[in-house]
Chain A
Amino acid sequence: RSEKRTQKALEGKMGIRFILMVNKQGQTRLAQYYEWLTLEQRRALEGEIVRKCLARNDQQCSFVEHRNYKIVYRRYASLFFMVGVDDDENELAILEFIHLLVETMDKHFGNVCELDIMFHLEKAHFMLEEMVMNGCIVETSKANILSPIQLMDKAH
């Protein structure tokens, strides 16, 4: 019985399964997956999701169901933030998480834009690392998230 439960736990329950940042043209600007997909699967998945989300208008809700994912997305200026989660994840909380992510990046880059992320891809990833591990939220305080990053910047 316990084996069965484990199996069930392994199947889903990842929490956050991927985070994408995509521009208006549908080009991926940052992609972080917390489960393994091959390159082809990623390309296909990103293409499908981007097509679905970009076709929606502002009045529509921020959730799209796709395959066995639920995509929670939010648009900030020219950049779409998309988070793929399991079916039983709290969608509203993920929406709040996206906002936290954007605020954190704003705090670091000062009104973050597509180019900031492109030219500082590693830094964006380091921030994500401080916020999410293995699909779970690690830290919700912007100061705590940014302090190791700023410390390293100073050291350089």
Chain B
Amino acid sequence: MNSIFSGTRLRDMIRSIRACKTAAEERGVVRKECADIRASINENDPHDRHRNLAKLMFIHMLGYPTHFGQMECLKLIASPGFPEKRIGYLGLMLLLDERQEVLMLVTNSLKQDLNHTNQYVVGLALCALGNICSAEMARDLAPEVERLIQFRDPNIRKKAALCSTRIVRKVPDLAENFINAASSLLKEKHHGVLITGVQLCYELCTINDEALEYFRKKCTEGLIKTLRDITNSAYQPEYDVAGITDPFLHIRLLKLLRVLGHGDADASDLMTDILAQVATKTESNKNAGNAVLYECVETIMAIEDTSSLRVLAINILGRFLSNRDNNIRYVALNMLMKAIAFDDQAVQRHRVTILECVKDPDASIRKRALELVSLLVNENNVKQLTKELIDYLEISDEDFKEDLSAKICSIVEKFSPEKIWYIDQMLKVLSEAGKLVKDDVWHALIVVISNASELHGYTVRALYKAVLTYSEQETLVRVAIWCIGEYGDLLVNNVGMLGIEDPITVTESDAVDVVEDAITRHNSDMTTKAMALVALLKLSSRFPSISERIKDIIVKQKGSLLLEMQQRAIEFNSIVDRHKNIRSSLVERMPVLDEATFNVRRAGSLPASVSTMAKPSVSIPNGVAAAPLVDLLDLGSDDIMAAPSSSGADFLQDLLGVDLGSSSAQSGASPGPKAGADLLMDILSIGTPSPAQNNTSSVDLLSTAGINNNPSNALDTLSSPAPPHIATSASAGGMFDLLDGLSPSPSKEATNGPAYPPIVAYESSTLKIEFTFSKPSGNPQETNVQATFINLSPDTFTDFIFQAAVPKFLQLHLDPASSNTLPASGNITQNLRVTNSQHGKKSLVMRMRIGYKLNGKDVLEEGQINNFPRGL
């Protein structure tokens, strides 16, 4: 009966597993075996245990769960015989780990075995403890191990030493108990004891400063002597590897000397001679010798300055680098990275060789070399190195392009001497590896382009040319269509030609072709398509002559399967179709993207802004807050089909009027494009230019709605272009009510009189702005500002918009201006409410932008207001 249960022999199991043709078959065999082992475990026959565990180890190695065998290990360990114990401990090390509670049960067996009369049993226990012991076990068993370091048999001493390294790593407090025992091991002759003793000392030095000092004082000379002895020792067949006696011990000794010499000039001085000897005398035609040289170089570079030694080290690395053996070249590249820290010039001398390594057929070497090159780059050689790397990018393997292009981008970004060069290099990278670059790279490129106003024309033309050839490079296409959308007019008119450029003839319809191509290509992804759609909207205004064609392309997207695309297509279509008069202001150029904000966000450290973005209601960024408006707007626009068109249109106008007038939507964009822009921004995850600015205006929008509880009143003050319809104002009221819930209740401001002097906030030849201040009682953080805009010119300003932005510690509420028309020599006023969360610590500051139409031409003025009275 028993023989049936005990199942197959180990060999038979392995054979049947080997015979399996498929993974499924193997699983079947393993399942059956596991079932047999479980059954056998339940039988509890001690004779089967050994074999069961051997099988389980095999099954475990194949990657199947074996937890049900864990208790068997413990039973075997507790059994008296050596073979049982041996397999039990092996199972313990393979199948269990220090995190499992089962392990706690073994502490007692370990303790008994550490005190066993049979030294082989003691060896087993030490080995198991050294591989798996937990902090708790380390505390319990440290005294036994400490004692065993002085055991008579060296095979036990060496194991006890390594067991101690684990113990002190788990419980650093125990380190000092081992210092004396460890230093006594350094005097041994037995290589096993010596190498483990050296490792224990190394471990103690890294976790305990006192130990480091102790070994430095007491053992440095002894270690140097030991190293000298084995370096000069006669041939020892047992330890000889290619003419070197025990290279492993060499290396361990050099490692320990490194720690002792680092940061200590005296100790470093002592070891100079022996290091020089190892560096010059070691045979370098075999791997073992090179391993020792390699370790020696590392030690020379880590200890305190001994420049003659460093010359030796650099020379060895130079020899390594020109070696034909790839392994040696690999470690040379590895070490040169460390060598840069103290001798940049010496490493620079090998630049040509290192660049060749970037082109090596071996991926490991390429990777190392690329890392090294990126450390070698500086202002002087960046152009040359980048050129080399980009030339290689054109012909490199596909799977290396990603790493290579990422490195080139980071080099170019870090060391770019001028913007035009940066843009040129990035275009080359995107043309070659646009599919592979990460989002933040092309986002950064757009930010730079946006800030380089004198290069807009040049860039958009260069991108246009590039995208015709490399249309399969997704991110290149994205940047190109973004630029064509923004600067399409510069493209077709060859505006801002640089001397180095050849003029190109691009018609408006050529430009639209590129965008259409991007939006219709089946493998363009959602981001690209969305960006193309926004670009089309912008182009519809830039290129009025072909706006019908553009409209057709947009209309086609109404059938897009992507909801976002569908919705935006409908919205954009209605803007193109019905709102020609506002379209141009809707699709103005994006304001210059704020590099600083982008860089901070890119570095992933903009928690404040992120959290405000995440908050619902009032502090939602403008685009999101505006989105409901856009949706409302579009509902209205669809309703027009049924409703009398005039009132519907008025309604829309009103809504837009409200929005334009009240929120003074910053950057001259109003909800339509803002949503578009924000869609873009969200996708780009660049974020809008300045979060502070954004928040403010969204708050404005809402607070306006809140303050003007009476809708008709609201509309009156907003001087909307068309007189409000009764029906309209009712529905507009509905909208206000919607928003009302979101807005903070308007606080009645009680002014205390002008405690602060008025200032002239801004003055140009045509416009002057004065601020007067008052503080509402009860809230020192708040300041009411009345802005008076005075027209100094002989002509009337129309479509007057004042926008303001404040840093994050301020909150700004803008009330609507008294009018958006500013007659010659006349004035209008606008109330601002500023809340200073750092009241008493920081003064107010504000940036502002004023837009208006003068004789039909758009005028934009900008400025920063720094002269606020202190203490506001």
Query: Which of B162, B241, B326 is A60 in contact with, Cβ under 8 Å?
Result: B326
| Chain A hits for B290, CB < 8 A | 92
Map CB proximity to A onto B192-216 as digits: 1 under 8 Å, 0 otherwise: 1001100100010011110000000
CB pair B330–A36 under 8 Å, yes or no, is: no
Known: A9-B206, A90-B294. A122 touches B57 (CB 8 A): yes
Most buried by B among A5, A56, A91, A136: A136
Map CB proximity to B onto A91-121 as digits: 1 under 8 Å, 0 otherwise: 1110111001000000000000000001101
Known: A6-B172, A28-B61, A93-B295. A142 touches B238 (CB 8 A): yes
Closest to B329 in A: A61
CB pair B162–A2 under 8 Å, yes or no, is: no
Show 26 residue pairs from A and B whose CB-CB distance is below 8 angstroms, ordered by the A residue: A5-B209, A6-B207, A28-B62, A34-B131, A39-B65, A46-B63, A56-B363, A62-B326, A92-B290, A92-B294, A92-B328, A93-B247, A119-B14, A126-B90, A133-B159, A134-B163, A136-B199, A137-B248, A138-B158, A138-B192, A139-B195, A141-B191, A142-B238, A152-B120, A155-B82, A156-B83
User: Is A65 interfacial (CB-CB < 8 Å)?
Assistant: yes
CB pair B172–A148 under 8 Å, yes or no, is: no
CB pair A60–B362 under 8 Å, yes or no, is: yes
User: Is B706 interfacial (CB-CB < 8 Å)?
Assistant: no
Closest to A2 in B: B209
| Chain A hits for B195, CB < 8 A | 137-140
Most buried by B among A43, A93, A152: A93
Task: Give the CA-CA distance A136 to B131 in the complex, in Å.
Answer: 10
User: Is A31 interfacial (CB-CB < 8 Å)?
Assistant: yes
Query: Which of A129, A141, A152 is B192 in contact with, Cβ under 8 Å?
Result: A141
Map CB proximity to B onto A125-156 as digits: 1 under 8 Å, 0 otherwise: 11001000110111111111000100110011
Task: Give the CA-CA distance A97 to B131 in the complex, in Å.
Answer: 19
Helix, strand, loop or mixed for chain A's interface?
helix
User: Is A10 interfacial (CB-CB < 8 Å)?
Assistant: yes
User: Is A59 interfacial (CB-CB < 8 Å)?
Assistant: yes
User: Is B291 interfacial (CB-CB < 8 Å)?
Assistant: yes
CB pair B288–A61 under 8 Å, yes or no, is: no
CB pair B291–A90 under 8 Å, yes or no, is: yes
User: Is A54 interfacial (CB-CB < 8 Å)?
Assistant: no
A99 to chain B, nearest CB (A): 8
Enumerate B280-321 residues with CB–CB distance to A below 8 Å.
Answer: 287-288, 290-291, 294-295, 298
CB pair B251–A90 under 8 Å, yes or no, is: yes
User: Is B676 interfacial (CB-CB < 8 Å)?
Assistant: no
Task: Give the CA-CA distance A143 to B287 in the complex, in Å.
Answer: 22
Q: Kindly state the interface size class of chain B when it binds its partner.
A: 35 or more
Q: Which residues of A contact B (CB under 8 A)?
A: 2, 5-6, 8-10, 13, 28-32, 34, 36, 39, 42-43, 46, 56, 59-65, 90-93, 95-97, 100, 118-119, 121-122, 125-126, 129, 133-134, 136-144, 148, 151-152, 155-156
Task: Give the CA-CA distance A8 to B501 in the complex, in Å.
Answer: 55
B303 to chain A, nearest CB (A): 16
Closest to A94 in B: B291
CB pair A133–B163 under 8 Å, yes or no, is: yes
CB pair B166–A148 under 8 Å, yes or no, is: no
Query: Which of B14, B98, B127 is A133 in contact with, Cβ under 8 Å?
Result: B127
Closest to B238 in A: A141
Query: Which of A2, A92, A134, A156 is B287 in contact with, Cβ under 8 Å?
Result: A92
Map CB proximity to A onto B77-92 as digits: 1 under 8 Å, 0 otherwise: 0000011001100100
CB pair A9–B361 under 8 Å, yes or no, is: no
CB pair A138–B162 under 8 Å, yes or no, is: yes
Task: Give the CA-CA distance A2 to B165 in the complex, in Å.
Answer: 17
| Chain B hits for A36, CB < 8 A | 97-99
| Chain A hits for B326, CB < 8 A | 59-62
Map CB proximity to A onto B816-839 as digits: 1 under 8 Å, 0 otherwise: 000000000000000000000000
CB pair A140–B127 under 8 Å, yes or no, is: no
Known: A31-B61, A42-B63. A92 touches B291 (CB 8 A): yes
User: Is B177 interfacial (CB-CB < 8 Å)?
Assistant: no
What number of residue pairs across chains A and B have CB atoms under 8 A from each other? Answer: 169
CB pair A133–B130 under 8 Å, yes or no, is: yes
User: Is B768 interfacial (CB-CB < 8 Å)?
Assistant: no
| Chain A hits for B246, CB < 8 A | 140
Helix, strand, loop or mixed for chain B's interface?
helix
B16 to chain A, nearest CB (A): 12
Most buried by B among A8, A29, A39, A156: A39
User: Is B364 interfacial (CB-CB < 8 Å)?
Assistant: yes
Known: A6-B207, A134-B130, A141-B191. A92 touches B97 (CB 8 A): no
CB pair B238–A143 under 8 Å, yes or no, is: yes
User: Is B520 interfacial (CB-CB < 8 Å)?
Assistant: no
Query: Which of A93, A119, A121, A156 is B251 in contact with, Cβ under 8 Å?
Result: A93
User: Is B756 interfacial (CB-CB < 8 Å)?
Assistant: no
User: Is B522 interfacial (CB-CB < 8 Å)?
Assistant: no
A18 to chain B, nearest CB (A): 12
User: Is B857 interfacial (CB-CB < 8 Å)?
Assistant: no
Closest to A43 in B: B63
CB pair B90–A96 under 8 Å, yes or no, is: no
Closest to B367 in A: A65
CB pair B158–A122 under 8 Å, yes or no, is: no
Task: Give the CA-CA distance A143 to B658 in the complex, in Å.
Answer: 92
User: Is B11 interfacial (CB-CB < 8 Å)?
Assistant: yes
Query: Which of B166, B191, B327 is A92 in contact with, Cβ under 8 Å?
Result: B327
A56 to chain B, nearest CB (A): 8
Query: Which of A64, A90, A134 is B165 in contact with, Cβ under 8 Å?
Result: A134
Task: Give the CA-CA distance A97 to B158 in the complex, in Å.
Answer: 18
| Chain B hits for A43, CB < 8 A | 63
A47 to chain B, nearest CB (A): 9
B165 to chain A, nearest CB (A): 6
| Chain B hits for A133, CB < 8 A | 127, 130-131, 159, 162-163
